[in-house]
Chains A and B, each alone.
Chain A
Amino acid sequence: MDQGDSAGRLVRPFTLTGGRTRPSRADFTLITTVTTVDPPPERAARPQPEQVRILRQCARPVAVAELAAHLDLPVSVVVIMLCDLLEAGRIIVHPPHPVRRDPCLDLDLLQKVRDGLGRL
């Protein structure tokens, strides 16, 4: 049977979030990386089509900003869907490297970035 909501691009972004405009949690930044849990947890509910797209994209770790760009969806929409997936145990989240200026930045990290840029 043809499902009415399989129209993909024609779906307005916040329809994908059930009308929600705010994430249920705050752990997603633009450079938080997301990885799909494989195999999925037992008794996992069947994901929505857009969620399936996310799970496919995140077979390898992907930053939230990149994910949003690949899905052609606003970051705010993607983050709400990621919250659902995280709560369902379908993804693992890796936070960005913490940047603390107090007392000072991590010298090892800076040196690493410096060396990496030098190789460009």
Chain B
Amino acid sequence: MAGSDPAADAVTAPDTVKILIAGGFGVGKTTMVGSVSEIVPLRTEEPLTIAGVGVDDLDGVEGKRATTVALDFGRITIGRDLVLYLFGTPGQQRFWFMWNDLAIGALGAVVLVDVRRPQSSFAAVDFFERRGIPFVVAVNGFFGRHPYPPEEIRDALALPRDVQVLLCDARERESCRDVLIALVDQLIARVHPLLGAPAQGRPGSCGGA
């Protein structure tokens, strides 16, 4: 019999976890979120006057329109008691102060790299490396084409061996799912080296076709 305790009567709230989808401006983060999310990616906008005091100089902004930082995110229900959220981090460097908050409590991150301009994701790689947050690198092909093998991308980004590089197509659900699975495998490998074997020795494992 249900008691009078409101907590017991309420629909049990699921546990929630999050993974960040990071990378430079316009590399396809929201596309990736949308490809695997069970909901159309949602957007919240934060007025910069609050979030970015001292970061953005709003003087002289025409019409004094408040600048906002947009945050796109999606959801994957893992089970009745567990929901995974995917947050696309704001791409422009000046919004990076938000990344710190986003990174707290994240399982890990996917750094999305645009094959035509990998340098736009250097800073994202740097961010997660410095904070010891596990990540995989997913190379988003231009119209699904991949001119460079994963090893070349690895060298270009100077990635450590235990970070996987995957080729993907951010528009394809299966491809994005495989990237997320690779990240979780990498996390499992840290906890239990025998279970999450793929992280070691096969750095160039490939996601989408």
Contacts and interface: CB of A to CB of B under 8 A. Distances in A.
A33 B10 CA distance: 12
Interface string A45-63: 0000000000000001101
A69 B84 contact: no
B187 interface: yes
Interface in A21-73: 21, 29-33, 35, 37-38, 41, 60-61, 63, 65-66, 68-70
Given A61-B14, A112-B79, A112-B82, A38 B44 contact: no
Contact of B188 (A76, A97, A111, A116): A111
Contacts of A116: 76-79, 82, 84
B83 A105 contact: no
Contacts of B1: none
Interface of B: 6-7, 9-18, 36, 42-47, 50-51, 68, 71, 73, 75-79, 82-85, 87, 102, 104-107, 132, 173, 177, 180-181, 184-185, 187-188, 190-192, 195
B16 A31 contact: yes
A25 to B, nearest CB: 16
Interface of A: 13, 21, 29-33, 35, 37-38, 41, 60-61, 63, 65-66, 68-70, 74-76, 92, 94, 96-99, 101, 104-105, 107, 109-118, 120
B160 to A, nearest CB: 17
Label chain A's interface by main secondary structure: mixed
Contact of A75 (B13, B46, B106): B46
A75 B107 contact: no
Given A13-B47, A38-B10, A69-B43, A114 B16 contact: no
A57 B74 CA distance: 18
A38 B191 contact: no
B184 A65 contact: no
Contacts of B75: 63, 66
A37 B132 contact: no
A110 B177 contact: no
Given A65-B42, A92-B7, A99 B17 contact: yes
A109 B17 contact: yes
A31 B73 CA distance: 11
Contact of B84 (A21, A70, A105, A113): A113
Contacts of B76: 116-117, 120
Given A37-B10, A120-B36, A113 B173 contact: no
Contacts of A115: 78
A15 to B, nearest CB: 13
